[in-house]
Amino acid sequence: MLIWNQKKYFGGFHLGTKDNQKRGKMTKILAGNWKLNKNTMEVRKFFQRIAGSPCLDEVKIAIFPAIVTLQASIDSSKDLKLSLGSQNSSEHIQGAFTGEISASVVAEMGARLALLGHSERRSLFGEADQVLSRKVKAAQEAKLKVCFCIGETLQEREENQTDLVLKRQLEVGLSLANKASEIWIAYEPVWAIGTGKVASVEQVQQAHHFIKNQLTSLGFNSVSILYGGSVKPDNAAALASIPNVDGFLVGGASLEVESLEAIAKAMK
Ligand code: PGA
C-alpha cells in the first residue's frame, strides 16, 4: 500500500492508485479552482468534510484556493491525500513588486502547484503569453508543478482560429519551460467557463488531440491534459471518457464537497 502524505503523494503523483497501477491505467486528475471564493472558516470546513471521502482515492485531487486562504488550506489538509496550489504567481521571486506572489514562498508554505494563464488572468489582468512564459519559468524554478491554462474565445472559435490560438499559447507560453518537468495543461474554451455551456465531445476530442500533438512536437513528454469549462456531475462521465482527457479543472462545481465527489465518481 502506498503511504501518503503531501510530499510522498507528489513524489508518486505519476504512479496512480495501486489498483490502477495493476491495470496500467493512470488515475485521473480532478483540480478545483476556487477563484476568489471561501473565507478561512469555509476553507477549513471544506477540508474537514472531504476527509475520509472516497473521492480522495478515486482521483488525484488538487485544489487552488485564493492565495489569502492558501496557508489555512495547507494547515487543514495536512493529512489528506490531495495537493494544493496558488492561482497565480509572479515572474519575480523577490524585490520591489508590490502585490505580487512569490512562487518560492508558495512552495515554502507547502503548496506544490501553480495555476498559470487562466483566462480570467489573461482577460481581466492583462497577462499575455510573454509574461506567462516568465511566470512558468519562475514557478518551475521554485519547484512548483505548473498547471497552464489555454483556450480560445468564442469569436476565435467562430473565426476558425482555435488551433492557431492554442498553438501560439503553447509555443510562447511554454517557451521558457523546463521540458523535463511534469506539466499539466488545462484546455478551457473561454466561452465555456462559468457559462454552463460545455464544449461538445467532438470539440474537446479535437482540441485535446491537437494539444497533445503540439506538446509532443515541442518536446514535452511528461504532460497531463485537463479539460475545464462548466464541468458538472452530469457531464463529467462523458467528458472523462474522451481520449487524451487526463482530468478536469473545475470552477463552480469544485466549491462543494458533494459536487466534487459526484464528479470524481463519474470519472472512474
Ligand atoms: P467553471 O470554471 O467550472 O465554473 O466553468 C472553470 C475554470 O474557470 O477553471
pLDDT (0 to 100) of residue 15: 36
Summarize the confidence of residues 153-167 as an average pLDDT. Answer: 96
Residue of 118, 120, 156, 208 marked active site: 118
pLDDT (0 to 100) of residue 34: 98
> Is 17 a residue whose pLDDT tops 60?
no
Determine whether the shortest distance from the Cβ of 193 to ligand 1 is under 6 A. yes
pLDDT (0 to 100) of residue 22: 46
pLDDT (0 to 100) of residue 25: 64
Q: Rounded to whole angstroms, what are the CA distances from 162 to 83, 153, 159, 245? A: 31, 8, 8, 18
Distance CA 195, CA 45 (A): 27
Q: Whose CA is closest to atom 3 on ligand 1?
A: 251
Q: Whose CA is closest to atom 1 on ligand 1?
A: 251
pTM score: 0.91
The pLDDT tens digits for 51-104 are: 999 999 999 999 999 999 999 999 999 999 999 999 999 999 999 999 999 999
Q: Which atom of ligand 1 is nearest to the CA of 192?
A: 5
Provide the mean pLDDT of the chain: 92
Determine whether the shortest distance from the Cβ of 198 to ligand 1 is under 6 A. no
Q: Which atom of ligand 1 is nearest to the CA of 186?
A: 9
Q: Which atom of ligand 1 is nearest to the CA of 254?
A: 3
